[in-house]
Structure 1
Amino acid sequence: MDNLKLQKLVEDISITFFGKPFKHYALFNPRLRTTGGRYLLKSHNIELNYKYFEEHGMTELIAIIKHELCHYHLHIEGRGYQHKDYDFKALLKQVGGSRFCTPLKNVKTKRVTVLHLYECTNCKTLYKRKRKVDTTRYVCGKCGGKLNKAK
C-alpha cells in the first residue's frame, strides 16, 4: 500500500463511518516507532505507521485510522478531541475504533544506563546522571559543596 491508496482509504472511512469528508492529507511516516499514528493539530494531516499494517494487517490499520479520524473531526468541530475527553471516547465507541493499538513484536526499546557519576567534595554524596552536569554551575543539594566527576 502506498500513500495514494492510504489517502483514498482514509477518505472512504471518513465518509462511511463519520459522514463527513476528510479534506487533508494522510500518509505513512517511517519515523514513527511506538505509536500507530498521529493527528497533527496545525496541519490537520494524519500520519500512520506502516509497520502496523505489515505486522497486523488491514483491520488494525482501519482501527488506527478511525482513532485518528476521531481526533481530526472533533478538533475541526471545536469539541473535545483529546483522549481524556468524553466527546472523544463516545465518538470512538460509536465508530468502533480502537483506544490503543496492538504492540509491535520487534520494537527495540532504548535502555539508558547511568553514564555520568558526580561526587560532592564535602559530604561525598554521589549523584548518578544520564547527561553531563556543568560542575561550575551546579553544587551539591545537601551541603552546597563543589561537584567533581567521580572516577
Structure 2
Amino acid sequence: MTDTELQLLVEELSQQYFQVPFLHRAYFNSRLKTTGGRYLLRTHNIELNKQLYEHFGIEELRGIILHELCHYHLHIRGMGYKHRDQDFRLLLKKVGAPRFCSSIEEKDKKRIITIHTYQCINCKRLYSRKRKMNVSKYRCSYCNGAIRLINSEKFE
C-alpha cells in the first residue's frame, strides 16, 4: 500500500464512521517501532506504522486508523482527545476502534548484547560494561590505575 492509497483509505473511513472529512495528511512512517500510529497535534497529520500493516494486514490497519481518527476529530472539536479522557473512550466504543494495537512478537527479533570487559593495569580488578567506554577518560575506582579493554563478547 502506498501513501496515496493510505490517504484515500483514511478519508473514506473518516467519512464513513465520523461523517466528517479528513482534511490533513496520513502517511506511513518507517521509524515507528513500538506504536501502531500517532496523531500529531501541531500539524493534525496521522502517521502509521507500515510494519504492523505488513505483519497483520488491512483489518489491523483499519483499527489503528479509526483509533487515530478519534484523536483527530476530538482534538479538532476541542473535546477530550487523550487516552484517559471520557470523550475519547466513548468515541472509541462507538466506532469500534481498539484501545491498543497488536504487537509484533519479540521472538521475531533476536536481541544481541555485547559485554565489554575492562581491567585495571595496577590492581587487576575487572569491570564489565554493556556500553563501550573511552579508556583514556576513566581510571580504576580502587587504585586510580589506568584501565584497558580485555575483550568484547556477544550474547543472544
Q: Return the structure number with greater strand share.
A: 2
Tell me the distance in 1 between the aligned counterparts of 2:90 and 2:73.
13
Say yes or no: does 1:39 pair with 2:39.
yes
User: Deviation at 1:31?
Assistant: 0.3
**Deviations 1:30-77, CA, capped at 9 Å, x for gaps:** 000010000000000000000111011111000000000000000000
* Residue of structure 1 equivalent to 2:48: 48
User: Deviation at 1:106?
Assistant: 4.8
Q: Give structure 1 stretches of 5+ with no counterpart.
A: 116-130, 132-151
1:28 alignment partner AA = F
SS in 2 for 1:24: coil
Within 5 Å, give how 1:1-151 maps onto structure 2.
1-106=1-106
SS in 2 for 1:47: strand
Query: Pairwise CA RMSD of aligned residues?
Result: 3.3
Q: Give structure 2 stretches of 5+ with no counterpart.
A: 116-130, 132-156
The percent of aligned pairs where both chains have the same amino acid is 56
Q: Report the TM-score when normalising by structure 2.
A: 0.70
User: Deviation at 1:107?
Assistant: 7.7
SS in 1 for 2:73: helix
SS in 1 for 2:81: coil
1:63 alignment partner AA = G
Q: Which has the larger radius of gyration?
A: 2
Tell me the distance in 2 between the aligned counterparts of 1:40 and 1:83.
14
Alignment coverage as a number of residue pairs:
149
User: Deviation at 1:108?
Assistant: 7.8
Q: Report the TM-score when normalising by structure 1.
A: 0.73
User: Deviation at 1:80?
Assistant: 0.1
* Counterparts in 2 of 1:101 and 1:4: CA distance versus 1, 3 Å: same
Tell me the distance in 1 between the aligned counterparts of 2:60 and 2:107.
17
1:52 alignment partner AA = L
SS in 2 for 1:27: strand
* Counterparts in 2 of 1:107 and 1:15: CA distance versus 1, 3 Å: farther
User: Deviation at 1:97?
Assistant: 0.5
**Deviations 1:79-137, CA, capped at 9 Å, x for gaps:** 0000000000000110010100001125888x8x9x9xxxxxxxxxxxxxxx9xxxxxx
* Counterparts in 2 of 1:29 and 1:99: CA distance versus 1, 3 Å: same
Preserved contact between residue 40 and residue 46 of structure 1 (Cα < 8 Å): yes
After superposing on structure 2, the runs of 4+ consecutive aligned residues of structure 1 that deviate more than 6 Å are: none
